[in-house]
Amino acid sequence: MTKLTLGSHPYLLGFEQIERLLERNAKSGNEGYPPFNIEQTSDHGYRITLAVAGFRDDDLSITVEDRQLVIRGRQTDDGNDRIFLHRGIAARQFQRSFVLADGVDVVGATMENGLLHVDLERAEPEMAVQTIAIRRA
């Protein structure tokens, strides 16, 4: 018996990309750090908020790579002369990835009170009827 995948189903033409997306998302293995929220801000607007307490703007990078939003954080440990009696706030690096659908673009990012806000916007879809002419061979 052959395995029927999403991309090979006869009624789902051109959806192979979704199968690759699901595989890539399953392999990403994001742990729980840093915590984040995703909210809908308007009919076509979204906001991803990450809790990045202790990070400066220079410690963070936001890139879009192959329709994937990648947020990286790397703190520099400048406390070499400090002696910690307890260190509960670790200076650890992270990488969070979010796959963007076609037509969703990053419009900006702001930092406020230890929260990084990344704003996204979906382009208005065009609803058009297309008539296909039949040619004689």
Encode pLDDT of 17-29 as tens digits. 777 767 766 665 5
Q: Is the separation of the CB atoms in 47 and 119 below 8 Å?
A: yes
Contact between 120 and 47 under an 8 Å Cβ cutoff? The reply is yes
| Residue at token pair 């929220």 | 37
Please say whether the structural domain 32-122 has been given the CATH code 2.40.50.100.
no
- Percent pLDDT > 70 in the chain is 82
Predicted confidence (pLDDT) per residue in 122-134, tens digit: 988 777 888 888 8
Taking only the tens place, the pLDDT of each residue in 35-72 is 999 999 999 999 999 999 889 999 999 999 988 999 99
CA distance linking residue 45 with residue 48, whole number of Å:
10
Q: Write down the pLDDT at residue 76.
A: 75
Domains of the chain, by residue range, sit at 1-30, 32-122
Q: Which residues pair with 112 in a beta bridge?
A: 115
